[in-house]
Amino acid sequence: MAQAEGDPLAPRQERAGAAGSRRGVRFDQVNLWFGGGRRRQAVHALCDVSFTVADREFCAIVGPSGCGKSTLLNLASGLRPATAGTVHVDNKPVRGLVPDIGYVTQDSNLLPWLTVQDNIRLPLQIRGVPASEQEALVERWISTVGLDGFRHSYPRQLSGGMQKRCSIARTLVYDPPILLMDEPFGALDAMTKAQMQDVLLQLWEERPKTVLFVTHDLSEALTLADKVVVITSRPGRVRDVVTVDVPRPRDVFHASELPEFARQHRALWDMFAAELSQGGRR
């Protein structure tokens, strides 16, 4: 993706490691209990979770269903407080909703009364971006996610995959420094999923962000991430943090052919399969 002069998506700073950069996320001995009461037993969802996502690092989170992957994103965003332990964002403990975090949820959550262009424009209006800049950004992102010709369409007129692409554009259009993504491509067909992975990687290379990316797809994790955090069955613990050896830049469509990819996929699958066989018997 070429960068034109004055391009609103062009990088503003160097990759991770630049002096003064600190837009990371850190979980320190985080525990979370759900529910509990007179007739219900509390559920231990997360247990002593500790790991760090460095500034502008791409981190995938994998684990069995119900292990607390999505909950980790809610903790990082401030949507839910931890029962014990601390979550740090930007070197500060999370004490409520964290500003300037982009969150792509499993559902598209588009406003049904707004068109594609108006859904994408909404966060820019909320942030007071000048109207002239809004139009340029909306136009660029409609094209980037392949919704040319649908700018005046309403969500009900879009396929599920198109709704997801609109949702991703609406989140990325305001350039949040930290991006939380909860299985964002799960509803897409295989080809569209690969295309969106390619778009995401190009955008991340051009304008790096701290990314926490929840997925069930081990191939997706290895294709996109710098490292993969493997979470155990409930209560979710960190089983391992795996540095991805697949070299960058990556070709989304052919990364799986590399020997490094095959080796790490096998190792991750062995861990993942072991957790599935546990079935929560902890």
- Residue pLDDT, tens place only, 101-149: 999 988 888 999 999 999 999 999 998 999 889 999 999 999 988 899 9
Instruction: Write the single-letter amino acid at 27.
Output: F
Residue 2 in this model has a pLDDT that exceeds 50 = no
pLDDT attached to residue 24: 93
pTM score of the predicted model = 0.85
Looking up tokens 């630049």 gives 18
Positive or negative: CA dihedral 163, 105, 91, 98: positive
Task: Indicate the SS3 state at residue 122.
Answer: helix
Where helices occur in the chain by DSSP H, the ranges are: 69-77, 116-126, 131-144, 160-172, 190-206, 218-224, 259-278
Domains, the chain: 54-83+95-100+177-282 (3.40.50.300), 110-175 (no CATH)
Q: Which residue has the higher pLDDT, 225 or 17?
A: 225
pLDDT attached to residue 256: 93
Give the residue among 62, 56, 26 at the shortest CA–CA distance from 264.
Answer: 62
Yes or no: say if 225 and 218 are a contact pair by the CB < 8 Å rule: no
Digit-coded pLDDT (tens) for 162-199: 898 899 899 999 989 999 999 988 877 888 888 888 98
Give the residue among 73, 72, 58 at the shortest CA–CA distance from 203.
Answer: 58
Digit-coded pLDDT (tens) for 17-59: 333 345 899 999 999 998 765 666 788 999 999 999 999 999 9
